[in-house]
Amino acid sequence: MTEIYECIINPSSRSGKGKALWDSLKKRFDQQGMEYHTHMTEGPGSATRIARELTGAGRPAGDPPIKLVVLGGDGTLNEAVSGIQDFSSVLLGYLPTGSSNDFARGMKLPKNRDVLIERIAAGKAFRTVDVGRLTYNHQTRTFSRLHDETPKTVRHFLVSAGIGFDAAVCEEALSSGTKNILNRIGLGKLTYGAIAIRNLLSADRVEIDLTLDDQEKVHLDHFLFAAAMQLPYEGGGFQFAPDADPTDGKLNICLIGDMSKPKMLTSLPAAYIGKHYGIKGIYHYQVSRLDIRTALPMWVHTDGEVVMKSDDISIECLPGAMSLMI
């Protein structure tokens, strides 16, 4: 049976650079006489729908894994992963072309894209990683400015998921003119820092209750955000979980609250270099499952993609669920 590469491409990622990178991969496929199909994304939710169709029911038993390649940023990758119906039936390849590239940074992917192209063209499982799963136990009608027309109650992630201030920053960044301007001059990774500083003083702070691994209870009267990290970085390079390991079956939880917003502002540089633990008001946990309830609905994100506000979510780790060709 001829094996086919299914390629999901975001042509507008990083102001069109995704198209140029695709041309390099296409050339490699053509040189080796490899069969492939291309699927261009067209907007929010497009990559999820494509991945769902490619990996849905009806595949004959015993078929080889689907070789799914994603070209785009962390958001395109997140959408594609959230659309995969059966992780065990997929080999995933990825070529980063986004502005933040927290997945590539956290996985320490080679900066030389030719190395990644060679690995993808080899078509074999290079390593396996954990997958995070977020469930909206309560869905509100407050949707992000850029969201899928048919939001799902379950989303998966490879980098991080969070609720509160960090998700609010992501929500603004998704349709930010600042991001577009910085992308054009090659400084797109500064988008999140710029928006965070501007919005910190207006961020909501409400009560939060966490349940860790169905046992330990944590309560804060005022929280800024809670992030469940699979990898060390989010938000364009903020090292919120410097010890995160995508193969240990655990989520690294960074919880920030009961501290003033000016103090949070002065703590941002420490968080950028992963030296924030030890600062009063910043807490760290390692868990397999996390349940979160907040007094008011807050923005929620998975890998920087924001769908809606919620006040009741669950996050869990699926150990070794995804096989990568990179």
pLDDT tens-digit profile of 103-161?
999 999 998 989 999 999 999 999 999 999 999 999 998 888 766 666 789 999 999 99
Task: Give the contacts of 214 (CB within 8 A, at least 6 positions apart).
Answer: 289, 291
Please state which of the four CATH numbers 3.40.50.10330, 3.40.630.30, 2.10.260.10, 2.40.10.10 is assigned to the domain occupying 4-130: 3.40.50.10330
Task: Write out pLDDT tens, residues 147-163.
Answer: 666 678 999 999 999 99
Residue 202 DSSP one-character state = G
Question: CATH 3.40.50.10330: which residues of the chain?
Answer: 4-130
Nearest to 324 by CA among 97, 9, 104, 171: 104
The CB density around residue 130, as the number of other CB atoms within 10 Å, is: 21
Give the integer Cα–Cα distance in Å for 176 and 194: 11
Instruction: Tell me what percent of the chain is helix, strand and coil, each rounded to the nearest 5.
Output: 30, 35, 35
Kindly tell me if the per-residue pLDDT of 188 is higher than 80.
Answer: no
pTM: 0.90
pLDDT number for residue 79:
95
Nearest to 26 by CA among 14, 38, 41: 38
Nearest to 144 by CA among 100, 118, 176, 103: 176
What fold, for 132-319? Tumour Suppressor Smad4 (2.60.200)
* Neighbouring-strand partners of residue 136: 313
pLDDT number for residue 121:
93
C-alpha distances in Å from residue 84, one per residue of 42, 116, 294: 18, 22, 29
Task: Give the contacts of 267 (CB within 8 A, at least 6 positions apart).
Answer: 259, 276, 279, 282
Give the integer Cα–Cα distance in Å for 62 and 39: 25
Question: CATH 2.60.200.40: which residues of the chain?
Answer: 132-319
